[in-house]
């Protein structure tokens, strides 16, 4: 949600587009998986943050995806450019053309 708000506030998403994206995200909630926090998850996030230019929360998000994708197939989605570039190297990532630009 914060990423969507940031896109709206930055002028990359219209108010109407923001509302549509929020509704779409809310529709996805029942199909989301919850990965519980654990020492192993935090250690994996720490390794990611050490290896790649990730902020702390982004490293935790990506570490959770890596843990989850060992059990189920899925596609990682982010609207954060830095996280997107790292995720593309590590996990199946939903393409976001705007983030492919320099």
pLDDT digits (tens, 9 = 90+) for 1-49: 888 898 899 998 899 999 999 999 899 888 888 899 999 999 999 999 9
Q: What is the pTM of this model?
A: 0.75
Contact between 87 and 54 under an 8 Å Cβ cutoff? The reply is no
CA distances from 61 to 10, 19, 36, 45, 101 (A): 23, 24, 11, 8, 23
Cα first-last separation, the chain: 24
23 with 57, same domain: the answer is no
pLDDT digits (tens, 9 = 90+) for 83-101: 999 999 999 999 998 888 7
11 with 43, same domain: the answer is no
98 with 80, same domain: the answer is yes
- Domain of 57, in residue numbers: 34-102
Q: List, as one string, the DSSP characters of 53-92.
A: S--HHHHHHHHHHHHHHTTS---B----HHHHHHHHHHS-
27 with 50, same domain: the answer is no
Domain count, the chain: 2
Q: SS3 of 93, please?
A: strand
């Amino acid at each position: 949600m914060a990423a969507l708000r940031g896109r709206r506030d930055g002028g990359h998403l219209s108010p109407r587009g923001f509302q549509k994206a929020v509704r779409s995200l809310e529709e996805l909630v029942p199909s989301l998986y919850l990965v519980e926090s654990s020492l192993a998850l935090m250690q994996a996030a720490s390794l990611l943050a050490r290896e790649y230019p990730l902020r702390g929360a982004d490293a935790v998000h990506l570490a959770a995806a890596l843990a989850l994708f060992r059990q189920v197939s899925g596609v990682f989605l982010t609207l954060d450019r830095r996280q997107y570039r790292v995720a593309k190297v590590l996990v199946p990532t939903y393409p976001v053309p705007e983030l492919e630009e320099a």
